[in-house]
Chain A
Amino acid sequence: MIRTLFVLLVLLVLAAAATSVIPHLKMRTELDGAGLEYARRGLEDTGSINLVTAVIVAYRGLDTLGEVVVLFSAATSVMLILSLFPLGRGPTDPSFIVAHTARVLPAPIMLLAVYFTTHSHLSPGGGFPGGTIMASAFLLVMLGSSSTPAGSKILPALEALSGTTFGLLGLWGTMTLGQFLNNRVIGIGNPGYLVSAGIIPLVSLAIGVKVASEFSGIFAAFRKSGGNR
């Protein structure tokens, strides 16, 4: 009873706060602040056609490094807990058709993921969506069997390699131009082509591999903690 009243009170306070904001809201019609600067100078500064990727990788690259660290710690906690306390009793085998689909389809999905990751400066996509699609390909392999795939042993190595690559690409900017993650270290090239926009495609690839290996590690830990039947 007291709990229900308390919940009602909290929701009422929140609704009142939200209602008091409504008269001050008005529709935005012009860019302002940081968004205006990014839209005006983004293409000249970074050479990336996709302004969202320019913001993620070039302007706010240090923040992205922090986000990757948060993701890393969450994934590591999941893997640690699941390896310390085994749960579950082992999965059943899939049917013939599902097992064979899981052998055929991961290759096109992986191709799609690599396309989205490496073309992040030309079309929608980028490290985070590409990485989750790569993890989905790994997941399809795992749904089509009742054991952990053999390739999951190299996941920690991939994760360390991609994280180190991200850091070293940033330090390269520090050493040559005096700025962390400056993407002009190899020139921005001709915008609109695949080889352009400095180190943005490389950093996107590093982010994608890191996200993919972390999510794949979570799935492999879930599967291993049940024990193979």
Chain B
Amino acid sequence: MNPSLASALAVFLGGMMLAASVVVLFVRDLLSAIIITGMISLSASVLFLLMDATDVAITEASIGAVLATLIFLWGKGKMGGRE
């Protein structure tokens, strides 16, 4: 991997992940917080691929995009209106 391209992508994705993680704690709507957490997991998957961890990237993409998001969404649906 070209070092300058990898560095630029890492700074870009890392900045986005840190900004999103702070927003998760302060956004008012819980549904928005769940969606933004899913985006953090997806960006982490790209970072794993840049660090040459292909198997981990596949696992994080399938878990972070679908399973974790879905479990939190389902829990929020089961809770009804109690927030």
Contact = CB atoms under 8 A, between A and B. Distances in A.
22 contacts: A52-B55, A53-B55, A88-B78, A124-B54, A124-B57, A125-B55, A125-B58, A126-B55, A128-B59, A129-B55, A129-B58, A132-B59, A132-B62, A132-B63, A132-B66, A132-B67, A139-B66, A139-B70, A215-B67, A219-B70, A225-B78, A226-B78
A133 B62 contact: yes
Which 6 A-B pairs have CB atoms at the shortest separation, nearest pair first?
Answer: A124-B54, A129-B58, A132-B62, A129-B59, A87-B78, A88-B78
Nearest to A134: B62
A135 interface: yes
A165 interface: no
A133 B63 CA distance: 9
Interface in A22-36: none
Contacts of B63: 132
B66 A136 contact: yes
B62 A136 contact: yes
Contacts of B66: 132, 136, 139
Nearest to A89: B80
Contacts, number: 39
Contacts of B78: 87-88, 222, 225-226
Contacts of B74: 222
A133 B70 CA distance: 14
A219 B57 CA distance: 23
Contacts of A129: 55, 58-59, 62
Interface residues on B, range: 10 to 19
Contacts of B77: 88
A135 B66 CA distance: 10
Interface in B18-76: 54-55, 57-59, 62-63, 66-67, 70-71, 74
A129 B55 CA distance: 8
A124 B70 contact: no
A129 B62 CA distance: 7
Given A116-B58, A132-B59, A139-B66, 17 more contacts: A50-B55, A87-B78, A88-B77, A88-B78, A124-B54, A124-B55, A125-B55, A129-B58, A129-B59, A132-B63, A136-B62, A136-B67, A139-B70, A218-B71, A222-B78, A225-B78, A226-B78
B52 to A, nearest CB: 11
Interface in A125-169: 125-126, 128-129, 132-133, 135-136, 139
B75 to A, nearest CB: 9
A54 B59 CA distance: 17
B24 to A, nearest CB: 17
Contact of A135 (B57, B59, B67): B67
